[in-house]
Homo-oligomer: A and B are copies of this chain.
Amino acid sequence: MRYKVAVAGASGYAGGEALRLLLAHPQVEIGALTAGSNAGERLGALQPHLLPLADRVLEETTVEVLSGHDVVILGLPHGQSAAIAQALGEETIVIDCGADFRLTDAETWTEFYGGEHAGSWPYGLPELPGQRDQLRGARRIAVPGCYPTVSTLTIAPALAAGLVQPDITVVAASGTSGAGKAAKPHLLGSETMGNASAYGVGGVHRHTPEIAQNLGRVHDGAVTVSFTPLLVPMSRGILATVSAPLAGDVSLEHAREAYDAAYGKEPYLHLLPEGQWPQTQAVLGSNAVHVQVAVDQRAGRLVAVGAMDNLAKGTAGAAVQCMNLALGLDETVGLSTIGLAP
């Protein structure tokens, strides 16, 4: 049995990565490929790395084109998903890589994104406690933001185990592909190579409430999140440093046990051996998240670091993982824990 999967936004980075993964998926047939302003172009001109699809021509992103697929993966600008999803009907599984359906709280949505809240869909982070069951057989799935995925997974075991206070500080260094393929001056190679910069500092980045929402799932009571995103000179990858004040007497052994327990059966979460720290190169192209934890007794903080590919597990890998769950397949089909390095 092969499922027919369409990708809307196939000329962008999320769409391209989805296609890279779907090409390696043994139970998928790639259906319609759509784009906005790039409709009518050969995919090979825009995504030359996807050689087997080079001669496919991009179609307009319309309901007609996307109909009749088992699964539609949406890699669209914010705000475009709701109408398409509604028109497609329940016979099609819709997996949205955009932000429209991630937040459950309408007020928070409006505060951070503006406009009216479109609602929320099952949240595509199966590693969150209880979440995997909601994704099995789901017809609509909201793929998490890349920063929220790695930030959440890096600190959740410590918070869930009560090792830290719910006062979380995240500083996450990201490659440029997280900002998408739309041409903006500050994202030029000349501006990003040899350059590290901060942006969206002080709690204003839209991923801040999403991290808080996730961590609220593993902690009773309010969780505060201070989130600072950095742009560093690489195309792919996020390295998140997440720390919080210790809640009482916590040893490194306690901390490692908590992570071992939380990650033990997860196919993509990997606690590194003591002494080895995460690096993004090790997870490029893979669905794995590498995490390491330290307990700084002098400063009274637990510090965890996680590395993830923002386009793979951070976006398109999560979409495929969720698609597998939605289709009732083994969660890991077509996904790898092997990175491309160096």
Contacts and interface: CB of A to CB of B under 8 A. Distances in A.
A278 B228 CA distance: 13
Interface string A269-296: 0101100111111111110101010111
Nearest to A182: B185
Contacts of A208: 298
A201 B292 contact: yes
A99 interface: no
A232 B290 CA distance: 17
A91 interface: no
Contacts of A232: 173, 196, 232-234
A189 interface: yes
Query: Which of A24, A47, A167, A299 has the most chain B CB atoms inside 10 A of its CB?
Result: A299
Contacts of A183: 183-185, 187-188
Contacts of A206: none
Query: Which of A23, A50, A193 has the most chain B CB atoms inside 10 A of its CB?
Result: A193
A195 B199 CA distance: 20
Contact of A299 (B24, B51, B203): B203
A239 B172 CA distance: 12
Interface in A151-193: 167, 169, 171, 173, 175-177, 179, 181-185, 187-193
A239 B191 contact: no
Interface residues of A, number: 97
23 contacts: A13-B342, A24-B336, A44-B272, A44-B276, A45-B276, A48-B290, A49-B282, A51-B337, A173-B173, A177-B342, A179-B190, A189-B191, A189-B235, A193-B194, A194-B237, A195-B342, A196-B238, A197-B278, A198-B241, A198-B292, A230-B239, A236-B342, A340-B340
Interface of A: 13, 16, 20, 23-24, 42, 44-45, 47-52, 167, 169, 171, 173, 175-177, 179, 181-185, 187-199, 201-204, 208, 224-228, 230, 232-239, 241, 243, 245, 270, 272-273, 276-286, 288, 290, 292, 294-301, 303, 305, 307, 336-342
Given A194-B237, A201-B303, 13 more contacts: A48-B272, A48-B339, A173-B196, A176-B188, A187-B190, A191-B342, A194-B236, A196-B237, A196-B239, A197-B277, A208-B298, A232-B232, A285-B340
